[in-house]
Structure 1
Amino acid sequence: MQRQIVLHRLELRQVLVAEWRERLQRPTAGFNIIEAIRPVLVDWLGRIHGSLSFHVTQLLSVHGCFGKEPDTRCHHCVHYEEDSAQHTLVECVAWYEQRRTLKSEVGEDLSPPIVVQKMIRSAESWDAVVSFCEDVMSQKEAAERDRQAHRASKESKNCSLSTPLNGSGDGGLGEVPVTPL
Structure 2
Amino acid sequence: MQRDLIKHCRQCGSSVHHRVPDDGDTRERAICPACGTIHYVNPLLVVGTVPYLGDQVLLCKRAIEPRHGKWTLPAGFMEMGETMQQGAARETAEEAGAEVTMGPLFSTLSVPRVGQVHVFYLAPMKHGRCVGFGHETQEVRLFTESDIPWAEIAFTTVRRTLECFFEDRRQGRFGMHDVDIA
Is TM > 0.5 for Structure 1 vs Structure 2? no
Q: Larger strand proportion, structure 1 or 2?
A: 2
Scaled to the shorter chain, the TM-score interval is: under 0.3
Work out which structure has the larger RCO, using CA pairs closer than 8 Å and 6 or more positions apart in sequence. 2
Q: Larger helix proportion, structure 1 or 2?
A: 1
